[in-house]
Amino acid sequence: MTKPARTTDTPLVGGDSDRDGAARSGGAVRPGDAAGRPGPEPAAPRLAVAPRLLARAREAARAALPAEACGLLLGRVDGERTLVQRLESTRNATASPAEDTFEVHPEDYLRLDALARSLGLDVVGVWHSHPDSAARPSRTDLERAWPGWSYLIVGRAAHDDAHERSWRLDDDGRFVEERLVTAGEAPAPRTTQPTILR
């Protein structure tokens, strides 16, 4: 598998961004320097997505109204950073009302999984829309979530204040927000703590 290009990230919503590879220790104890000064914060998970891909998700979410839209994220994981290189839509195969549920059609998953492998990528996450509610995972999202994937949500897709946030399960099975960043620009300082849904 090809090693991803090294880039810097810029936050898209709230949160912060760190220089790629600057703090990848990931441990519970912050590293320090020889003088005892604390080192950088451990890297927090973040999802790097090009703005054009987010725009595509928002467009697909609007096109699917009043149903939820859904799809897969193809890309690479490099430590705590997940780089999305393709955002693909899939059929919503839910047997429940599609206004508030989604299920990626398994045949579409199969097709995109094969596409990802042919490109040297992986399925690294899932995206879906909430037509009327915010981009926070629901109880259903939590019950059906898999560890190790990013869950990108287009919130309020039917409204003028549509927005995107991304989440992933932590070791305790809770959704933790991951910073949504775009690759290739200078990072901004951290301004907020990540949200953990209990």
List of residues contacting another protein (CB under 8 A): 68, 70, 72, 77, 94, 96, 99-104, 106-107, 109-110, 113-114, 117, 122-124, 126, 128, 130-133, 136-141, 144-149, 151
Residue type, position 186, single letter: A
Q: How far is the CB of 106 from another protein (least distance, A)?
A: 5
Length, in residues, of the chain = 198
The Cα 101–Cα 53 span in angstroms is: 22
Q: How far is the CB of 96 from another protein (least distance, A)?
A: 7
Considering beta carbons, is residue 77 or 119 the nearer one to another protein?
Answer: 77
Considering beta carbons, is residue 13 or 158 the nearer one to another protein?
Answer: 158
The Cα 16–Cα 11 span in angstroms is: 6
Give the closest residue to 160 by CA, choosing from 31, 89, 58, 41.
58
Q: Are 16 and 80 in contact (CB under 8 A)?
A: no
Give the closest residue to 32 by CA, choosing from 41, 20, 24.
41
What residue has token string 């047997």? 95
Token pair recorded at residue 180: 């949504």
Q: How far is the CB of 37 from another protein (least distance, A)?
A: 35
Considering beta carbons, is residue 52 or 139 the nearer one to another protein?
Answer: 139
Local structure of 137: helix, strand or coil = coil
Give the closest residue to 182 by CA, choosing from 28, 3, 70, 46.
46
Q: How far is the CB of 128 from another protein (least distance, A)?
A: 6
Considering beta carbons, is residue 53 or 74 the nearer one to another protein?
Answer: 74
Q: How far is the CB of 38 from another protein (least distance, A)?
A: 31
Considering beta carbons, is residue 41 or 100 the nearer one to another protein?
Answer: 100
Token pair recorded at residue 109: 């998953």
Q: How far is the CB of 178 from another protein (least distance, A)?
A: 15
Considering beta carbons, is residue 1 or 186 the nearer one to another protein?
Answer: 1
Gyration radius from the chain CA atoms: 17
